[in-house]
Structure 1
Amino acid sequence: MLQALSNVLVTPAEMTAVDKDAARSGIDSFSLMRSAGTAVSAAALRLYPEALRFVVLCGPGNNGGDGYIAAAALADTGASVAVFALGDAAMLKGDAARARDAFALVPRPLDAYGPQSGDVVIDALFGAGLARDVPDEARTVIEQVNASGVPVLAVDLPSGIDGRTGEIRGLSFVAAHTVTFMAAKPGHLLMPGRARCGTLEIFDIGIPARLVADRAGDLHVNTPAMWEQHLGALDPATHKYKRGHLAVLCGGPVSTGAARLSAAAGLRAGAGLVTLASPAEALAVNAAHLTAVMLKEINNAAGLAAWLKDRRLNAFVLGPGFGVGKKARDFVLMLCGRALVLDADGISSFREGREQLFDRIAAEGGEVVMTPHEGEFARLFPDIAEDAALSKIEKAQAAARLSHAVIVYKGPDTVVAAPSGRAAVNVNAPPWLATAGSGDVLAGIIGAHLAQGMPAFQAAASAVWRHGEAGVVAGRTATAESLVESIAPLRGNA
């Protein structure tokens, strides 16, 4: 059943609604808690068979209830178990109280715990629903456990991480392993929370998949399931003139490398033809470096307008090394009715006058993809970037609605969002992708996918995935050039 939910992301609020729906449908809520706690105990025994003691830290809510069930199950196997509770365990109600009663021993106060060699900590304090800073009593224990180096197995989400945003609420555990239930939450994938979850494991605790799907929004993990129905457009056996003509617009003679990287990536990613559009003063330097990529002299808006009469040109990349200013703005506004990747300088050129860009995209109806990193996002969407209440996903969604474009909000937790609200979080990119020219390569891959006829959202999401896979292949010593050479054919069910 979890296969049907494998790429679904569910917010904490949506998961709360799912739990209520399950109870209304007649599913015993305590049986679900028992399944969750038992799954935690099974993971603990499998992962840490050498543990001298399992220390279960239980909070005042249902996450704590999962912890009590896990503690009882571990004790039944003969393992050494100690339970420490935040607050008065006698005040628990409902399923959490039943779970507490299933553990035969009286829990000790949380502040009585001190990490010992051989301990494995099971963090069942707060889980994914935390939306406030952790209390001081919990902070002290979290600090001690993190400093001690004893392994932490988190129940649902390491305590201190906001399940909606991935932000740290004052302080959080750094887990080696996290067990969650039914579906991943945004906090598992968004930084900095993602870096503190360790290995993520999702358990089916018996809630019907339809109940989860009914409450889940249009938010997913970026996997081939998001776009594999469009892979026919990327068939490498197709005739080159049916695989699209990608044009990459280049800047002046001292900043040509970025555009050539985009062009090379576009060709490698499957565009049938790729042309680098260069001003006259950069023709010689570009000609000296190009082979399969073609070269076209384009000096000004009039030259671009004349070239655009050739409708076989069906996708464009503008931004890498192009230069910030009026020329970039003029060119971009001419391309808003086409398939366009707007990157780097192309984005920064609209720091002032962004409304003109957004209005033109809306009026022309082109397949426009913008690929801002953190700084570029703040320049183009300052009001959204400054809203601390929004998660990275919500910021990308808001920017997509405002701009009428697909947004690729780059970073270690890249988010792809469409104006409709559909969004995907990417997880396959290795950290060494953060290298000079990597974004130029990504822009070229997106351009190639657009040139081959993929819709903008799917073209962007699949390109981000493909870029991550290329990074894995290129390895820790990857450069932008080796990244291009590592772009492999894109296949479904990867």
Structure 2
Amino acid sequence: MASPSLAERVVVTAEQMQAIETRLFAAGLPVAALMEKVANRLSQRLMAEYPDRQQRWGIWVGPGHNGGDALVVARELHLQGYPVQIWHPFERRKPLTEAHLQFAQHLGIPITNTYPDSCDRWLDGGFGFGLSRTLNEASQAAIAYLNASGKPICSIDLPSGLDTDRGEPLGAAIAAERTVCLGLWKQGLLQLAAAPWRGQLERLDFGIPEADIVAVLGSNPPRQILTDARAIAALPLPLATDAHKYRRGHLLLIVGSQRYRGAALLAAIAARASGVGMVTLAVPEHLSAIAVAQVPEALVLACPETAAGEIAELPLDCDRYSAIAIGPGVGTGSSIRSVLQQVLQQARSLLIDADALTVLAQHPEDWTLRLAGSATVITPHAGEFQRLFGSVPTPETVDAAVAEHSVILVRKGPSPTVATPTGTSWSLVDSTPALARGGSGDVLTGLLGGLLAQTDAVSAAIAATWWHSRTAQAIARTHSPLGVSPTDLAAQLAFWLGQRLRSDSAHGYLTRE
């Protein structure tokens, strides 16, 4: 498998992108030449994607260079026979944008400052990266017109109105069908706040020299895309020829209660798919027979339970396990806090999820029980993150949380992200909303826990996040997004990975050759 280039995998802030462009311009690259190069490549991409020359394109042109890009695209579409109409409701514009507007007028492309309603699709060239102030009322009104049109919108670089770094609407934002990100991935596009606006994401390369990226971000940039190559390299493969079950890791999975019996089984089945050598399943006593029947490979520990059907105590020595995972469906009673306190004090890799995170949020002082130097992974959704740390998950708040508590955090959502205390993070460009179902997180916990027993915590988090998401996407393609049940997800993890590893040169990971 070919290694992705630095441009393919780096994620930048507005300040970093501006610094890279400044280097290009200082080295002699004219701004006009860069605009022509980028917009011409975008034009070719759009014409390949939308070959019907009867479709009428509306081009929303902003006052800055994003508007200049849009004008070059408008020119190229016009010259190739597409019906094009330019909407430019601004009195001022940058000189280069002004020049392209004048040439578009010379070519006879219709230009209006009032909203045209005769377009079949729109190109959003309003505002690109670097936007950090709230849009004025006129710009917000223009965005409202476009969103209300019901026509598909393709945004250049970012949907107009989004904060480049945080992904939040600055008063209003274009609801794009797709966003073509220029050059390097922008941090804001990968944030939870951007999900309703960004649509389908793709990156358009325009040949930024790697030396200029390294000069600004270093050779190992702190924020990166989680590529297939990076995730596959994180898997505990190939297996050693002299492997046996104890060398392949032993996971203690603490799960389930009377109310959430299914969570225990989903997590256990996913742990089995991870390839871990052994799984001990700690469940309330009433769940033990079901667990044995559904996951016969597991060693099932029937724990004493409370009147509410939650684990009352954990009657075992944790020293024998490679990793411990706790949370799915365990409940939030006082006995669960005692169990959590017990595992927090173990010198073992630890994964905390679901109900266990809720208990930890109720008793934040228990963070201090965690032994220094012991790897800890947490997997909160947005609500759990807010309960734990008192703020919504943003790049800044996630960085602060993982640094303060020395944890590895898997941020769930449209672009799942693995954040580490060193400041390095990896994000999937896309996942699938089909994972927004009760039980999907239990599957992730079991899978991640099983990998955590076999490899280091960062590798386990990276591999599990990718594997979980890509399997769900594959099911969605065959069964529709409505058909991605957590039961099928857990059952198909191993099958999907086998297909993926055989699909290209990655087959070498399956066995030693």
TM normalised by structure 2 equals 0.84
1:64 aligns to what?
Answer: 67
| Equivalent AA in structure 1 for residue 73 of structure 2 | A
CA contact (8 A) 1:85 1:107 kept: no
Q: 1:236 to 1:141 in 2, by over 3 A?
A: farther
What SS does the aligned partner of 2:201 have? strand
| Shift in Å, 1:371 | 1.0
In the TM superposition, residue 109 of structure 1 has moved relative to its aligned partner by 7.8
SS of corresponding position for 2:276: coil
Which of residues 348, 373, 392 is equivalent to 1:365? 373
**Kept in 2: contact 1:256–1:286 (CA 8 A):** no
CA distance 1:110–1:393, change in 2 (3 Å): farther
Q: What per-residue deviation string (whole Å, max 9, x for no partner) do you get for residues 53-100 of structure 1?
A: 4332221211112122223333443544333324224x523x444444
Map Cα deviations across residues 235-282 of structure 1 (whole Å, 9 max, x no partner). 497432221111111354454331232122111111111111234454
1:197 is displaced (CA, Å) by 3.0
Secondary structure, counterpart of 2:144 in structure 1: helix
| CA distance, structure 2, for counterparts of residue 224 and residue 456 of structure 1 | 18
Larger CA deviation: 441-450 vs 133-142: 133-142
Query: Using the alignment, how far apart are the partners of 1:124 and 1:377 within structure 2?
Result: 35
2:487 maps to 1:481: yes
In structure 1, the partner of 2:510 is none
How far did residue 395 of structure 1 move? 2.8
Q: 1:136 to 1:109 in 2, by over 3 A?
A: farther
Q: 2:84 aligns with which of 81, 84, 108?
A: 81
Provide the secondary structure at the position in 1 that maps to 2:418: strand
- CA distance 1:210–1:328, change in 2 (3 Å): farther
Question: CA–CA distance in 1 between the matches of 2:325 and 2:61?
Answer: 53
Aligned mate of 1:258, from 253, 259, 263: 263
Contact 2:326 2:356 in 1 (8 A): yes
Which residue does 2:299 correspond to in 1?
A: 294
Alignment coverage as a number of residue pairs = 480
Query: Match of 1:212?
Result: 213
1:222 aligns with 2:226: yes
Contact 2:303/2:314 (CA < 8 Å) preserved in 1?
A: yes
Provide the secondary structure at the position in 1 that maps to 2:279: strand
Query: Equivalent of 1:426, from 425, 428, 432?
Result: 428
Q: Which residue of 2 aligns with 1:388?
A: none
Superposition CA RMSD, Å: 3.0
The structure-2 alpha-carbon separation of the partners of 1:314 and 1:107, relative to structure 1 and needing over 3 Å to count, comes to: same
CA contact (8 A) 1:85 1:108 kept: no
CA contact (8 A) 2:78 2:109 kept: no
Deviations 1:143-176 (A, max 9, x none): 2222223332221112122222222223222223
> 2:282 matched to 1:277?
yes
Q: What is residue 151 of structure 1 aligned with on the other side?
A: 152
Show CA shifts across 1:378-418 (max 9, x none): 21111x33xxxxx6333322221122111112223322211
Q: Distance in 1 between matches of 2:158 and 2:99?
A: 22
Who is 2:250 aligned against?
245
C-alpha displacement at 1:213, in angstroms? Answer: 4.0
Q: Which has the higher mean CA deviation after the structures are superposed, 237-246 or 121-130?
A: 237-246
Identity rate, percent: 30
Q: 2:264 touches 2:283 (CA, 8 Å); kept in 1?
A: no
Partner of 2:362: 352
User: Quick one: distance in 2 between partners of 1:292 and 1:232?
Assistant: 20
* Contact 1:110/1:137 (<8 A) preserved: no
Q: Please tell me the residue identity of whatever aligns with 1:5.
A: A
Contact 1:253 1:285 in 2 (8 A): no
The letter for the 2-side match of 1:314 is S
1:181, distance to aligned residue in structure 2 (A): 1.5
Per the TM alignment, residue 441 of structure 1 is displaced from its structure 2 partner at its CA by 0.8
Deviation at 1:114, TM superposition (A): 1.6
- The residue aligned with 1:173 is 174
Change (3 A) 1:140 1:236: farther
Conserved? CA contact 2:379–2:412, under 8 Å: yes
The offset of 1:185, in angstroms, is 1.3
Match of 1:196 in 2: 197
